[in-house]
Structure 1
Amino acid sequence: MALIILGHPNYKNSFANKTVIEELKKSDLDLEIRDLQKLYPDYNIHIQAEQEALLRHQTIVFQYPFYWYNMPAILKHWFDEVFAYQFAYGSEGDKLKGKNFVPSFTVGSSESSYSVLGSQHFRVYEFCKNLEQTALFAHMNYVDPIYFHGTSLAAGYTETDIKNNAKQHATKLIKHLAELG
């Protein structure tokens, strides 16, 4: 069973992340999905409930849109609160040791824009070092991010294209989760 931490601040208006979650729900996987914005619209994270959810699962997927080269504020706040001293790190902070840490996100602009000569100047993986370090610091198994480009209407992508790409992404994620067990 995998835990999906959904960190989308405007999920109801999402095409990409909503499609990914809908496809995950249709899969045969045993999933627990926690929509942070729905659970905590006031950002008052129930730390114990979130930590208990983490303890129930071997694989944790962080599903979110890539915002300003990072994660949305609700998800960052969740990490700040939930990955606490003596839970995720510290002399007795081994509660997440050996669990799988799987970033899964959507990127608004094109793949070509995330290159040295592109408008973003860096590859997406270069913006993920903080995720990798967080996983390593908590003694988790970091899994390379699963993501796809072209999710922004403002960048010229159509709703149909976005949803089709999101379905392909979900298929890849489902396969990966099945392999992780």
Structure 2
Amino acid sequence: MSLIILAHPAFDKSYANKTIIEEIKNSGMAVEIRNIHELYPDYQIDVKAEQEALLRHKTIVFQYPFYWYSMPAILKHWCDVVLEHQFAYGSKGDKLKGRNFLPSFTVGSPEDSYTALGFQHFRVHEFCKHLEQTAYHTQMNYIEPVYFYGTSLAAGYTENEIKTNAKQHAQRLLDKLAELG
């Protein structure tokens, strides 16, 4: 069974992330989903509960919208407090060793925006180095991210386009989870 750490500050209004989660729930695959915005609206994360959840699973998926070239603030805070010294790293911090670290996110802008000549100047995978380093630092297996572009109505995408692409994303994620066991 896999764990999904869902970090979307406006999940109920999201077409992309909400569709992805609905597709996963409806797939019949055994997953535990922890919506950390819902669990911790005050950002007072129950570290022990989160660590216990991590220990129950071989694969941990981090599902979120790509915000300002990174993750939403609550997910960064979650990493800061949950992946603590002597749990996730340090001389005795091997509790996550060998588990899979799988980022899964949605990107509002179009793909051509994330090129050397595009508006963002860099490709998305260049913004993922901190994720890869976090996985290595915690002795986890970094799995290449699953993501898709064009999730913003402001960028001209329609609700139907976003939902269709989100369903395809969910299927790619489910396929990856099945492959990882």
Q: TM-score, normalised by structure 1?
A: 1.00
Cα distance in 2 for partners of 1:132, 1:51 equals 20
Deviations 1:108-165 (A, max 9, x none): 0000000001000100000000000000000000000100000000000000000000
Cα drift, residue 28 of structure 1:
2.3
CA-based RMSD: 0.4
Number of residue pairs aligned between Structure 1 and Structure 2: 181
Runs of 5+ in structure 2 lacking a partner?
none
The residue that corresponds to 2:41 in the other structure is 41
Identify the residue that residue 65 of structure 1 maps to in structure 2: 65
Report 1:22-171 matches (<5 A): 22-171=22-171
Shift of 1:23: 0.2
TM-score by length of 2: 1.00
CA deviations 1:65-98 (Å, max 9, x no partner) are 0000000001000000100000000000000000
Aligned match of 2:5: 5
Q: Secondary structure at the match of 2:120?
A: coil
In structure 2, the residue matched to 1:14 is 14
Secondary structure in 1 aligned to 2:102? strand
Q: Would you identify which runs of 4 or more consecutive aligned residues in structure 1 move more than 6 Å?
A: none
CA deviation digits over 1:33-73, x for unaligned, max 9?
A: 00000000000000000000000000000000000000000
CA distance in 2, matches of 1:98, 1:7: 23
Q: Aligned equivalents of 1:73 and 1:115: distance in 2? A: 25
- % same residue: 70
Compute the displacement of 1:29 (Å). 1.1
